[in-house]
Amino acid sequence: MEKSVRVEVDVIAQFNRDGQIIPLRVRITGEDGEPHAYTIRSYTDLSHKGVFTTPDGIYVTNDILVYECCIVVFEAKKIIHLYYDMSESSWTMTV
């Protein structure tokens, strides 16, 4: 399994009254160096499974929330994985 590289991204998220975090938008710096923003069309929360390694080779602990998200890029659906590190308050994604 090849390990992916995590890059920092900006995320707009909603917090519901139960404390659940819902990612709404993500801003990614493209290869051209410009920021590109995408609305998250759907997501699956893959967190709270204990310690495990994701399909992209990222080692996840209980302090990291994992979301599998669907965005639309140039009219094509694309699946991305977002990671929220609660101890560092930072969002990353794999490339």
Q: Write the pLDDT tens digit of every residue in 16-52.
A: 999 999 999 999 998 899 999 999 999 999 988 889 8
CB 45 within 8 A of CB 55: no
Alpha-carbon span 75 to 71, nearest angstrom? 9
pLDDT bracket for residue 95 (50, 70, 90): confident
Task: Assign 3 a pLDDT band (cuts: 50, 70, 90).
Answer: low
Q: Which residue has the tokens 């609305």?
A: 39
Whether 1 has a pLDDT exceeding 80, the answer reads: no
N-term to C-term CA, the chain: 14
Q: Strands, E, within 20-75: which ranges?
A: 21-29, 35-39, 42-45, 52-53, 59-60, 64-73
pTM, two decimals, is: 0.89
**Is the confidence at residue 7, as pLDDT, over 90?**
yes
